Amino acid sequence: MANIFEDPKKAARKAQLFEAGIHALENDGWQVEKIPGFGKGSVRKITKGSQERIVSIRTTQDQWIAFPRNDAGDAWVTLSDVDAVVAVSVDDKENPRFAQVHLIEGDEMRARFDRAYQARIKAGHSVPKKRRGIWISLYDEEASSPVSRVGAGAGIAHKPIARIPLAEPGLPAEQEKKEAGHAGTDLRPLSISDAKKSLSMFLGVPEESIEIIIRS
């Protein structure tokens, strides 16, 4: 799979997709929080009433998602630690217009990756650990052949909880609004909190380090 950080446009899109996942959860009534001292950047605690869950937000621009095995080969890095996975994908690989946000139970996603892992081992494939991991397709139907299709289809089995318009990275604000209007979705006004979250994701700095000054 391509290294999105080699392309500034794709890096900006990754931040958009991650933010779309957070907004989808919030619009579904969840409070989303970082976990103090937890080093895994994709992981969040979400709370709704008495429910509290740990989720991993995974973004994809090619409609495949990955989790790596640990060094011992007996568990999944991050995936083994969460209650659910928020998979945020583009609707179209070549001409993305929407972020599609899927909420998938951790047990099901672990089962899919376990099947994919075992199928690759049985087929004699070399299975990388840590950084690269194993990839499964969100929108292909699961099949036993080719082996890459084992574990696929989570995005088919679980319809999106939200479809959020994507602005073209780098477009002027007025053009973003116009394109979002053509997509048939109204945008709510951007709050200071929203702006800080977006900048935090894009720049990789804590929200509390960002100061926004508005002058009339």
Q: What is the pLDDT of residues 117-161, one digit of tens each?
A: 999 999 998 877 666 789 999 999 999 999 999 999 999 999 999
Higher per-residue pLDDT: 214 or 52: 52
Average pLDDT, the chain: 83
Parallel/antiparallel/unpaired status of strands 98-105 and 162-165: antiparallel
Assess contact for 18 and 89: CB atoms under 8 A.
Answer: no
| Chain centroid to CA 166 | 14
- 8: pLDDT confidence band, cut at 50, 70 and 90? confident
8-27 and 192-203 helices cross at what angle (nearest 10)? Answer: 140
Q: Say which residue, 180 or 145, is predicted with more confidence.
A: 145
On whether the CB atoms of residues 51 and 129 are closer than 8 A, the answer is: no
| Whole-angstrom distance, CA of residue 182 vs CA of residue 149 | 35
- How far is it, in rounded angstroms, from Cα 204 to Cα 112? 31
pLDDT of residue 38: 74
Residue 176 predicted with pLDDT over 60: no
* pLDDT average, residue stretch 83-96: 96
**Phi, psi of 102, deg, nearest 5:** -115, 135
Q: What is the pLDDT of residue 211?
A: 72
Asked whether the beta carbons of 51 and 83 are under 8 A apart, the reply is no
Helix/strand/coil for 99: strand
pLDDT on residue 166: 93
Helices (H), the chain: 8-27, 106-122, 154-157, 173-182, 192-203
Q: How confident is the model at residue 25 (pLDDT cuts 50, 70, 90)?
A: very high
Rounded to two decimals, the pTM is 0.75
